[in-house]
């Protein structure tokens, strides 16, 4: 599914970008544009960054 509608960036793409080193919403935006439009998705991107960082490692995807 798309997380960022403005830039048509999916959750799968975001996970790949985060895993490849983007650790802030700004770095994600610099990498793929997600979050650089209306900004409505930035909180979800932040949540995904925190999940990937292991802060919510007890939560299963899906
Ligand atoms: S939905 Fe991502 S910037 Fe608008």
- CA neighbor of 18 nearest in space, from 50, 40, 61, 42: 50
- Extract the runs of DSSP E, i.e. beta strands, from 1-62: 2-4, 9-10
Smallest CA-to-CA distance from 45 within 61, 26, 62 is with 26
Candidates 39, 44, 47, 48: which one to mutate for ligand 1, based on the most atoms within 8 Å of Cβ?
39
pLDDT (tens place) for every residue of the chain, 62 residues total? 999 999 999 999 999 999 999 999 999 999 999 999 999 999 999 999 999 998 555 555 55
- DSSP bridge partners of 9: 4
Kindly list the structural domains of the chain, giving each domain's residue range(s) and its CATH number in brackets, ordered by start: 2-52 (1.10.10.1100)
pTM here is 0.85
Q: What number of residues does the chain have?
A: 62
pLDDT of 44:
98
Which residue in the block uniquely carries the two structure tokens 């599914």?
1
Please state the atom number of ligand 1 nearest to the C-alpha of residue 45.
2
- 42-52 vs 25-32: helix axis angle to the nearest 10? 110
């Amino acid at each position: 599914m798309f997380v960022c509608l403005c830039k048509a960036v999916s959750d799968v793409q975001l996970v790949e970008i985060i895993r490849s080193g983007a650790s802030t919403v700004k770095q994600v935006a610099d990498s793929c544009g997600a979050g650089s439009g209306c900004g409505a998705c930035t909180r979800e991107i932040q949540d995904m960054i925190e999940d990937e960082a292991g802060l919510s490692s007890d939560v299963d995807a899906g």
